[in-house]
Each structure stands twice: as C-alpha cells, then as structure tokens.
Amino acid sequence: MNINEIFEEYDTNIVCVSDLGIQYRGARVDYITQDEHGSVQIWGGHPDDKYSEEFLPTKEERKLIYEQILEEM
C-alpha cells in the first residue's frame, strides 16, 4: 500500500492521523491531505484552522512519516 491508497480507501481527501502519535520536528502530525493532482500535504492541526501549519519535510523526512502512517493504519 502507498500513501495515496489511504485516500482511496477512505474515499476522502483529508485523513486524521493524530491518534498515531507521529512527530515532525517535535510537533504532532494531525492530518494528511491530498490535492486534485494527487500531491499529499502534511499538517499540524486541521488544515482549515487558521492556526494550523503545513509541514514541509525533506524527502527523507516525508518518507519516514509516510512509512509510520502506513505501518499504523
């Protein structure tokens, strides 16, 4: 399974992953979203909340976050 298949499985473009306890530079990863082009964004907080933050990990960090999500889901 790859990260994009999670969105297909749940039939949505936003998935809450905060219960998985994944951290990015000391902050909890709460949501992953997928745009209309299939790109995945990683968020601390809900993406529609004005206080949320989109995380911009390196390729290596992103790979580790995806692996953790896939392992836990």
3-state helix, strand and coil shares in percent for the chain, rounded to the nearest 5: 35, 25, 40
Residue with tokens 């749940």: 10
Reported as a single tens digit per residue, the pLDDT across 21-56 is: 999 999 999 999 999 999 999 999 999 999 999 999
Reported as a single tens digit per residue, the pLDDT across 48-57 is: 999 999 999 9
pTM higher than 0.75? yes
Tokens at residue 40, please? 């995945």
